[in-house]
Amino acid sequence: MASTLTRDEVARIAELARLSLSDAEVTLFTTQLTRILEYAEAVQRVDTAGVPPTSHAIATGSVWRDDEAGPSLDRDDILRGAPSASTDTGLLKVPKVL
């Protein structure tokens, strides 16, 4: 797979990643990410026919515990850490969505 990235592709990835990049950043990342992907090309030449992917190296399977109610984190503590919130109503505030 050709690993040369274009500026347009970098801009598209930035959109997916929810980053607004400056022109200088787009230029820099186009060069740097292309170099990194070229370096990674060797991986694509490895014969992996029939090899299952590893998502976790130590497979533990599903872990179960009893569904018991316990104390939660303090709501006001959490709201105090938010950039904008109302402790009166217990809500996080964001810009208008609709």
Partner 1 sequence: MADPFMTAVALRDAIVRGELSAESAVRHTLDRITALDPILHAFLLVDAERAITRARALDAAGTPAGPLHGVPVALKDNIAVRGMRTTAGSRVLENYVSPFDATVVRKLEQAGAVIVGKTVCDEFAMGSSTEHCAFGPSRNPWATDRIPGGSSGGSAVAVAAGMTPLALGSDTGGSIRQPAALCGIVGLKPTYGRVSRYGLVAFASSLDQIGPFSRSVADAALTMDVLSGADPRDSTAADQQIPGFSRSLSDDARGLRVGVPRHLLAEGLDDEVRVRFEESLAMLENLGVSIRTIELPNSPHAIPVYYLVGTAEASSNLARYDGVRYGIRATDPSSLSDMYDRTRSAGFGAEVKRRIMLGTYVLSAGYYDAYYLKAQQVRTLIRRDFERAFEDVDVVATPTSPTPAFPIGERIDDPLQMYLADVFTVSAPLAGLPAISVPCGLTGNRLPIGLQFTGRAWDESTLFRIAAAYERATPWATLHPAVTAPATESSTRK
- What residues line the site for partner 1 (CB under 8 A)? 1, 5, 9-10, 13-14, 16-21, 25, 28-29, 32-33, 35-37, 39-40, 42-44, 46, 48, 51-58, 60, 63, 65, 73-74, 77-78, 80-84, 92, 94-97
> What is the closest distance, in whole angstroms, from the C-beta atom of residue 28 to partner 1 in the complex?
8
Q: Which two tokens stand for residue 31?
A: 């060069």
The contacts of residue 85 (CB under 8 Å, 6+ apart) are: 79, 91, 92, 93
The contacts of residue 77 (CB under 8 Å, 6+ apart) are: none
Query: 86: which strand partners?
Result: 91
Residue with smaller CB distance to partner 1, 69 or 97: 97
Quick one: DSSP state of residue 17? T
> What is the closest distance, in whole angstroms, from the C-beta atom of residue 73 to partner 1 in the complex?
5
> What is the closest distance, in whole angstroms, from the C-beta atom of residue 92 to partner 1 in the complex?
6
